[in-house]
Every structure is written in C-alpha cells, then in structure tokens.
A = this chain, B = another copy of it.
Amino acid sequence: MLGTDFFMELSNRGIQPSIQRAKILEFLWKERIHPTADDIFDHLHHEIPTLSRTTVYNTVKLFTEHNILQPLVIEDKEIRYDIDTSLHGHFKCESCGNIFDFKADNEGSAGIRELEGFQIRERHIYFKGLCSSCSNLK
C-alpha cells in the first residue's frame, strides 16, 4: 500500500471510497499507533473540519467488518483499532498509555484440553505495566 492511493486501496477491498474513509485509512496506515475512534477524530477534524464523530465510528465498524481493522479491548470504555490484523500481543503502558506490539506464540492455540470442541474465532493477548521509557523515569 506504500505510496499508493488510499481511494484505490478501499476499492480493492470492496469498499466504496470517500474522502473520510480514505483519510481514516491513511491515518491508521501511516501512524502505526492503536488509536481510539476519538483519537482518529481528534487528529482528522483539522484536515476535514466537517468530519463527524459518528462517521469515524461508522467507518471503523465498516473496516472491522471487512477485516481491515482489529478492535482491541484492553481497558473498559476504550476500544482501540489496529490495522495489523495478524495475531500478535499488545502491551499497554499504564503510565504513558502507549500500546506496543510484540510477537506472541501461535502455539497453545491447538493443544488446549479445556477447549476441546470449541470453535476459536479470536485470540487476544495483552500485558500491562510500564514501558521502558516510563520505567527509566524511575
């Protein structure tokens, strides 16, 4: 998707493009943070003064349905969205609030006795604590 048109990317994914959707996708793609819908709104409403919060909520929902986005529930009352939909772990720093990715073993998925006969659709792994920067600030 590097350097390409986000309009085109939306089309390719079977989503009717719009300025709002393209800008939201661009933001998610370029800034590789794990923003909330509100974070996205706050960042974009300068560029698109008419942007509505509802549009952001609708769009992240749409993207999620198209598997472009993965919602992360780490804190209650805060859904974050990750454009990396692969299986990986998340670390949320309780001090700065940043979220960090880490590699998480895929194993353990199959060999769990208690889940015999279960249909697993989603896997989530998250840790909490202090990131190295915040740890160093004593």
A interface residues with partner B (beta carbon < 8 Å)? 73-79, 89, 91, 93-94, 100-105, 108, 112-132, 135-136
Contact = CB atoms under 8 A, between A and B. Distances in A.
Contacts of A129: 118-122
A131 B118 contact: yes
List the number of copies, as a whole number: 2
Given A73-B76, A77-B77, A124-B128, 12 more contacts: A73-B75, A76-B76, A89-B112, A91-B120, A102-B114, A103-B112, A104-B108, A118-B131, A119-B129, A119-B135, A120-B129, A121-B128
A135 B117 contact: yes
A74 B130 CA distance: 21
